[in-house]
Each structure stands twice: as structure tokens, then as C-alpha cells.
Amino acid sequence: MVLGIDASSSSLSNKNLSVLVVDDDPLIRMLHDNYLKHFGLKPHVVENGKEAVKLFQLGIYFNLILMDNEMPIMNGVEATKVLRDMGSTSMIVGVTSRGSPSEMQTFMEAGLDFCFEKPLTFDMIDFILKELNMNDDDDDDTNN
């Protein structure tokens, strides 16, 4: 059953969050792009891990990266490892079509904060955004 997540109340606090969607499937890119817009975000969208790494190298920071695993050129596991090695502190959430525990574990070990199986639901996005906003609050506290 749909819980009727009310995205509007949180969309004000979400406006300052930058999000990157990394997926080779144009259908999924369009879906996730629209889902995130529904929560008041303006995602950037790229089609493989290498493009995500390039953005990091250009100094562009994202609070949240939604990373597909199975992509050509550079997949999610590789891209996550490279980003962490390069010092990325973004929250990286893996979104995978393969639900096997070992694959999800490999993906997590690459440096993910969370890993979900497709399809992404509003509940999952709500959870991720709550975690993100909590992390931001923690950072504010330690700076005081």
C-alpha cells in the first residue's frame, strides 16, 4: 500500500541538496529524475560511472549520488571505489537490479552508504533524504 508520502513539507529543506543520478538506462534516468523532483530536488543525470567521476574531478560536489551498478564503461562498484579513493564525502546510495546478497555486499564494500534494490520507491527516497538531513544537522553541531 502506498503510504502517501507528503513530499511537499520536506521539499523546502531539500532545495539546498545537490543530487546526481548515475544510470545507463534512459527509462530509469527519467524515472529517478522525476521522483527526486517530486521531493523538491533538481538532480543532475549522467549515464555511467566514468561521467560521475569526471564531475568529481571538475570539483563539483553532490550531497547525494544515486549509483546504478550495471553500467558500461565504468560500473557502480568501480565508480564508487574511485570516488572514495579520490576523497568523495558524498552520500552514495547504490541502486541495483541484482538482488543477490553477495552482489549487494560487494557493492556496499566499494564504499556505499546504503544499497537498495530497484525499483526505487518514494519510501526509500524519503528515508535517504531524512538520513541526509540528519547528517547535515550533525555537521552543524560539530562546527559550533
Partner 1 sequence: MDRNRLQHQVACMRRSLFDQGYLDEPFIQLEELQDDANPNFVQEIVTLFYTDSARLIQNIEHALNSRPIDFDKLDDYMHQFKGSSSSIGAKKVTNECTVFREYCSAENAEGCIRSFQQVKQEYAILRRKLEVYLQMVRQAAVSRTA
Task: Summarize as ranges the residues that interact with partner 1 (CB under 8 A).
Answer: 2, 25-28, 30-31, 34-35, 38, 70, 97-98, 118-122
Smallest gap from Cβ 139 to partner 1, in A, equals 31
**Measured from the CB atom, is 35 or 56 closer to partner 1?**
35
Axis crossing angle, helix 76-85 with helix 101-109, rounded to the nearest 10: 20
**Measured from the CB atom, is 70 or 131 closer to partner 1?**
70
Residue with cell 532545495: 15
Three-state secondary structure string covering 21-72: EECCCHHHHHHHHHHHHHCCCCCEEECCHHHHHHHHHCCCCCCEEEEECCCC
Q: Count other Cβ atoms within 10 Å, centred on residue 2.
A: 7
**Measured from the CB atom, is 89 or 97 closer to partner 1?**
97
**What are the residues facing 22 on neighbouring strands?**
46, 67
Smallest gap from Cβ 49 to partner 1, in A, equals 17
Smallest gap from Cβ 140 to partner 1, in A, equals 32
**Measured from the CB atom, is 29 or 112 closer to partner 1?**
29
Smallest gap from Cβ 58 to partner 1, in A, equals 29
